[in-house]
């Protein structure tokens, strides 16, 4: 199952504490400084399942700085932490609900949480008036962010349509995907992905009338259509009213985000082997059991 939204605490490492120590009791302070905490970076990956790593983890932190030692020895700086996130992830502040940053290009790496500065040891506090300082600083806390990680798929093609419109079956035939198939509503409970000629096809779970208002599976999956480059609209040949089916989906897209309707669109009449395909302007009949019809679809995706 693809997890596309999680809440998590991301944190830079805390700074190490400064040390109080002396060469000899009452003489010569030699306490070293604590090391800085590690920084936490996020990096975009092409692995769209990476939010699954947070299913049992609610906090991730970079390494804490090491405390200062004797003989004026500073503690080691904490190691930086790089958290891989799926490309298309928005990092949203839980407190303000504002987007902190977005990862839209595979490989881009951004600093999210700085580590805390290490505290000074008592060696740093020596003076002519205070030759035996008994104090040292504690390390500063690393930057902590309570965030929502929200993934919107960045796919080349988005398969859309009402439940049981044949999207998952088509995805399986066009790509190496192994989407579950059955004849009941909402078979697809999360977006399925497949690769066609190095391009990503996303099977968006079946929409219904009122989805943009939260009905059925609601807008949880509509968001994944926002960034696809081309829509592949599937209408089953078994439909009693194909024109109305088409309008239902288009109206939901319009209600959710009118800009989506400006995307290029291919209309497919699926399951054409079960029933003589109806006529719908611009629509192309296709069946997973008809290699010639599948080839036509592949040619369209190439263009």
Give domain 157-302's CATH superfamily: P-loop containing nucleotide triphosphate hydrolases (3.40.50.300)
Q: pLDDT value at position 177?
A: 58
**144 backbone dihedrals φ, ψ, rounded to 5°:** -115, 130
In angstroms, the Cα distances linking 250 to 166, 246, 283 are: 18, 6, 15
**276 backbone dihedrals φ, ψ, rounded to 5°:** -60, 125
CB environment 207-245: b (16+ within 10 A), e (fewer): bbbebbeeebbebebbbbbbbbebbbbbbbbebeebeeb
Tell me how far apart the alpha carbons of residues 301 and 294 are, in angstroms, rounded to a whole number: 11
pLDDT tens by residue, 245-300: 999 889 888 888 899 899 999 999 999 988 777 778 889 999 999 999 999 999 99
Whether the CB-CB separation of 272 and 285 falls below 8 Å is answered with yes
| Residue tagged 């990862």 (tokens) | 103
Q: pLDDT value at position 257?
A: 87
Q: In the chain, where does the domain assigned CATH 3.40.50.300 lie?
A: 157-302
SS3 50: helix
291 CB-near residues (< 8 Å, 6+ apart): none
Q: pLDDT value at position 218?
A: 46
Residues of the chain with pLDDT below 70 are 1, 25-26, 177-191, 206-221
Whether the CB-CB separation of 115 and 35 falls below 8 Å is answered with no
For every residue of 84-108, DSSP letters joined together read EEETTEEEEETTT--EEEEE-STT-
pLDDT tens by residue, 221-251: 677 778 888 999 999 999 989 999 999 889 8
Closest CA to 153 of 196, 111, 204: 204
Whether the CB-CB separation of 18 and 121 falls below 8 Å is answered with yes
The fold of the 5-151 domain, in CATH, is: Spo0b-associated Gtp-binding Protein; Chain: A, (2.70.210)
> How is residue 173 written in tokens?
């035939």
Element (H, E) at 268: strand 264-270
Element (H, E) at 8: strand 5-11
> How is residue 103 written in tokens?
């990862």
Tell me how far apart the alpha carbons of residues 125 and 74 are, in angstroms, rounded to a whole number: 15
Q: In the chain, where does the domain assigned CATH 2.70.210.12 lie?
A: 5-151
pTM for the predicted model, two decimal places: 0.73
Q: Where are the beta strands (DSSP E) in 67-191?
A: 81-86, 89-93, 99-103, 109-113, 144-151, 157-160
């Amino acid at each position: 199952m693809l997890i596309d939204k999680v809440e998590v605490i991301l944190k830079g490492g805390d700074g190490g504490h400064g040390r109080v120590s002396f060469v000899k009791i009452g003489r010569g302070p030699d306490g070293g400084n604590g090391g800085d905490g590690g920084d936490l970076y996020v990096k975009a990956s092409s692995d769209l399942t990476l939010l699954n790593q947070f299913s049992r983890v609610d906090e991730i932190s970079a390494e804490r700085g090491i405390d200062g030692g004797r003989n004026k020895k500073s503690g080691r700086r904490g190691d930086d932490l790089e958290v891989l996130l799926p490309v298309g992830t928005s990092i949203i502040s839980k407190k303000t609900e504002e987007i902190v940053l977005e990862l839209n290009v595979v490989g881009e790496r951004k600093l999210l949480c700085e580590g805390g500065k290490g505290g000074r040891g008592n060696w740093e506090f020596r003076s002519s008036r205070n030759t035996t300082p008994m104090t040292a600083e504690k390390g500063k806390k690393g930057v902590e962010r309570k965030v929502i990680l929200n993934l919107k798929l960045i796919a080349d093609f988005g398969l859309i349509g009402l439940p049981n419109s044949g999207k998952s079956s088509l995805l399986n035939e066009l790509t190496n995907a192994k989407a579950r198939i059955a004849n009941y509503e909402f078979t697809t409970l999360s977006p399925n992905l497949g690769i066609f000629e190095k391009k990503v096809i996303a099977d968006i779970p079946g929409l219904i009338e009122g989805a943009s208002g939260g009905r059925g599976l609601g807008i949880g999956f509509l968001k994944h259509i926002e960034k696809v480059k081309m829509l592949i609209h599937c209408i089953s040949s078994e439909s009693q009213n194909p024109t109305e089916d088409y309008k239902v989906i288009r109206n939901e897209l319009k209600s959710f985000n009118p800009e989506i309707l400006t995307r290029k669109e291919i209309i497919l009449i699926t399951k054409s082997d079960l029933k003589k395909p109806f006529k719908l302007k611009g629509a192309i009949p296709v069946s997973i059991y008809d290699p010639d019809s599948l080839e036509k679809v592949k040619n369209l995706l190439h263009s």
